[in-house]
Amino acid sequence: MSHNIKEIIKNLSVDCVIFGFERGCMEVLLIRRAINPQKGMWALPGGFIKKEEQVLDAAQRVLKVTTGVDDRYLEEVGIFDRIDRYPLWRVFTIAHFALISPKHYALVPGIDTSEVRWFKLSDLPELVFDHQEIIDRALVRLRSRIRTRPIGFELLSKKFTLPQLQRLYEEILGHEIDKRNFRKKVLKLNLLKKLKEVHKTKKGRSAALFMFDTVNYNKLKEDGFIFELS
């Protein structure tokens, strides 16, 4: 056993599906590999777990290196374990998904990475290993979570409008929602504080800006809720 805290565990990695939301579309943050195997191809940000590190800390480290942020919503999705998923030796990876608000963070290619950028979920490039499968499962998880936890908000700026929030839910859930029913339901959660500011859109009427009521927000995050709308 080494006591070098930096030493990595060669058969255990983490990968992060980092979701963002811009201009009405879900996006995923991908990196371009600068090393072999599969040098030059697009992949999920990830890395090996260190000898003295916990899994979630490793995922947080990857998130920090890729986006410069920590302390965002991050959740374990599950283990991916196909025997030949990594070509050089056997690697189990623990997939996570994270929600961040794209505008706010400067992307910096990490070590072993030549490029970082957002891709629309509907327009992903070919990915290395089993990373497409990981994204698919993360998305299933996200869709399920958004119906019982108020995590959708993590994808928006601190101040946001109800039409933005609605488009986010429509995009993730994959179907349209009635505007009046949506507003009724969201406002009844006692989660939002209406601000005096408005958000000017290019065309049409300006939309009122909202923020969370942090107290109720954290309570709801713990307790969960049911969000179902046809």
| Site for DNA, rule CB under 7 A | 161-163, 178-181, 183-185, 198, 200-208, 226, 228-230
- One residue of 1, 23, 122, 222 binding a copy of itself per CB under 8 A: 1
Interaction between residue 81 and a copy of itself (CB under 8 A):
yes
Distinct helix (H) and strand (E) counts, the chain? 5, 10
Residue 53 DSSP one-character state? -
CB 109 within 8 A of CB 157: no
Q: Which residue, 52 or 176, is less far from a copy of itself as judged by CB? A: 52
Find, among 52, 49, 43, 96, the residue nearest to 72 by Cα.
96
The one of DNA, a copy of itself, none whose footprint includes residue 1, by CB under 5 to 8 A per kind, is a copy of itself
Q: Do 45 and 31 meet the contact criterion of CB atoms below 8 Å apart?
A: yes
Contact between 230 and 147 under an 8 Å Cβ cutoff? The reply is: no
Quick one: which H or E segment has residue 223? helix 214-223
Q: Is 94 among the residues that bind a copy of itself (CB under 8 A)?
A: yes
Q: What is the token pair recorded at 6?
A: 């930096």
- H helices of 38-197, in order, are 55-67, 131-145, 162-173, 179-188
Size of the site for a copy of itself (CB under 8 A): 20
Q: Which of 8, 32, 43, 51 binds a copy of itself (CB under 8 A)?
A: 51
Binding flag, residue 73, a copy of itself (CB under 8 A): no
What pairing do the DSSP bridges indicate for beta strands 192-199 and 73-80?
unpaired
Q: Least distance from C-beta 166 to DNA, angstroms? A: 8
Interface residue with a copy of itself among 83, 126, 204, 223 (CB under 8 A) is: 83
From a copy of itself, DNA, none, which one binds at residue 203 (CB under 5 to 8 Å depending on kind)?
A: DNA
115 is catalytic: yes
By CB under 8 A, residue 218 contacts a copy of itself = no
Q: Which residues are catalytic?
A: 115
Name the residues that contact a copy of itself, by CB under 8 A: 1, 9, 11-12, 51-56, 76, 78-79, 81-83, 89-90, 92, 94
